Structure 1
């Protein structure tokens, strides 16, 4: 169970780091896939900020993987699951693409919860 939890966390962490780097280097392209029906013009600065925060959000669990405390990692990833939940809710609130809201953000949150529980119970 612990190995599966660690693997799921690593996948999510590396994924959000990749997305963060994309927001830093190709913000307009990656923003189009977030789930909103339109991306505001001149939003590059905001999207770069989001990218930097996404990179940081991915590095935290990787640091905890290296630290080697599955309970600490489990709690952090479980709490961090609110980020994709809020992304999903914001997209739905603004009448964005439901498939992306549920299929990307909702699924990511579910994987994070499962990983967190595996680490806490393992």
Structure 2
């Protein structure tokens, strides 16, 4: 095998590894977005505890779930670090919703977090 062929093979393996990492990161970002959307929907219905549980199931393994309620607006952000074999990468998803009429949250409001997941 020549030096050029060895370099080409190494380059091909590197590009393939980066492509697989990019696909894994895109999948994790979509999971964060789905988790945020589902949690915002549940909080808007008045179920913040259930929202946190659902987001934890949908989101990537070590994701953090932040839920904020300001007035009648719900904002949920789900973020995770160390996706797949890319330890320095952080992915996130954010969803916003409006509280349904009559939905009462047992937690704080006015910009205070309803709860935050593990760091």
Query: TM-score per shorter chain, which class?
Result: 0.3 to 0.5
Identify the structure with the greater helix proportion: 1
Q: Which has the larger radius of gyration?
A: 2
TM-score (normalised: structure 1): 0.33
Identify the structure with the greater strand proportion: 2
TM-score (normalised: structure 2): 0.34
